[in-house]
Structure 1
Amino acid sequence: MVVPVERNRSFIHRGLSRGEVIGGIFWLGLGALISLLLEVVYLGTWITLPGGAAMAFPYTIVIAFFFNMVLTRTSLLWTDNKPVAAIPLFTWLLGFAVLLIWPLAVGDQLLGSNMRSVLLLVAGIAGGIWPLVRGA
């Protein structure tokens, strides 16, 4: 027998064990770190326009906004506790801070000191906070 499902209601399984929640949040945090690394690597992307002119095209700023939003919304499926749901965002921010101080430790600068880096930070924070304040 098929039971009709209301489209306006969301059905979220809440019978999760503590270990399942920890595991889920851990993988979301790892995804945040991997996405941050890819966003930083491709932040300096340039495209060649018709006519041979080159233009900076930092599309990873937009990706940071939307992917951090997805990570936070997904963590809200695992827990109703907003500080715990923000762990992927905190992980992303901690990774960003490590990339900022990386040149002091090893000398290789991974994150440029330019406006694109600032916009990446702002977009990442805004995307991660949005579901928490909006209520996903």
Structure 2
Amino acid sequence: MRQLPQQGFIHQDFSRAEAIGGLFWLSLGALISVFLEVMYLGTWIALPGGSSIAFPYTILIAFFFTMVLSRTAALWSNRAVIAAIPLYVWVAGYTVMMMWPVFGDAQLLGSNIRSVLLLGAGVIGGIWPLIKVK
């Protein structure tokens, strides 16, 4: 029986267009991610007895998903500045949603600690894989 190799193989023979395409799709994922994380940031869970409690689970999702995005982007580029493009897009999406009342009537991000924690978790999760390797 044939044994599988112990080490993984990372394909590094790709064109610049493939790398740009990969970073584009990761950036699109970052935009969709930040939109959903902001939309569900104000989630409440109903408790027995009729009371409710805030349950901002999207803060953890932001941390881990931006970590995955940055780690995957690092496969397309060895330069941390380029690998951080999905993180830049995530932060730009967050900023647009923070400034949304300027463009329309609805306020998407509240002025509360959950919004600050979401931003912090997203940024730290996105930076972590890029500085951990160094």
TM-score by length of 1: 0.93
Partner amino acid, structure 1, of 2:131 = V
User: For residues 130 and 118 of structure 2, what CA distance do their matches in structure 1 show?
Assistant: 19
| Residue number among 66, 78, 81 corresponding to 2:79 in the alignment | 81
1:89 positional shift: 0.3
User: For residues 10 and 80 of structure 1, what CA distance do their matches in structure 2 show?
Assistant: 18
The yes-or-no answer on 1:116 pairing with 2:114 is yes
Q: Deviations over 1:45-65 (max 9, x none)?
A: 000112221000000000000
Stretches of structure 1 that go unaligned for 5 or more consecutive residues are: none
User: For residues 89 and 32 of structure 2, what CA distance do their matches in structure 1 show?
Assistant: 10
Could you say which residue in structure 2 is the equivalent of 1:10? 8
Secondary structure of the residue that 1:55 maps to in structure 2?
strand
1:1-136 aligned at under 5 Å gives the runs 2=2, 4-6=4-6, 9-135=7-133
User: For residues 12 and 3 of structure 2, what CA distance do their matches in structure 1 show?
Assistant: 20
Partner amino acid, structure 1, of 2:132 = R
Identity %: 60
User: For residues 3 and 19 of structure 2, what CA distance do their matches in structure 1 show?
Assistant: 29
Partner amino acid, structure 1, of 2:85 = I
1:3 positional shift: 6.0
Stretches of structure 2 that go unaligned for 5 or more consecutive residues are: none
1:43 positional shift: 0.3
Pairwise CA RMSD of aligned residues?
A: 1.5
Secondary structure of the residue that 1:27 maps to in structure 2?
helix
User: For residues 102 and 135 of structure 1, what CA distance do their matches in structure 2 show?
Assistant: 36
User: For residues 75 and 97 of structure 1, what CA distance do their matches in structure 2 show?
Assistant: 21
1:106 positional shift: 1.7
1:107 positional shift: 2.6
* Count of equivalent residues: 134
Partner amino acid, structure 2, of 1:5 = P
User: For residues 106 and 53 of structure 2, what CA distance do their matches in structure 1 show?
Assistant: 25
Secondary structure of the residue that 2:53 maps to in structure 1?
strand
1:4 positional shift: 4.3
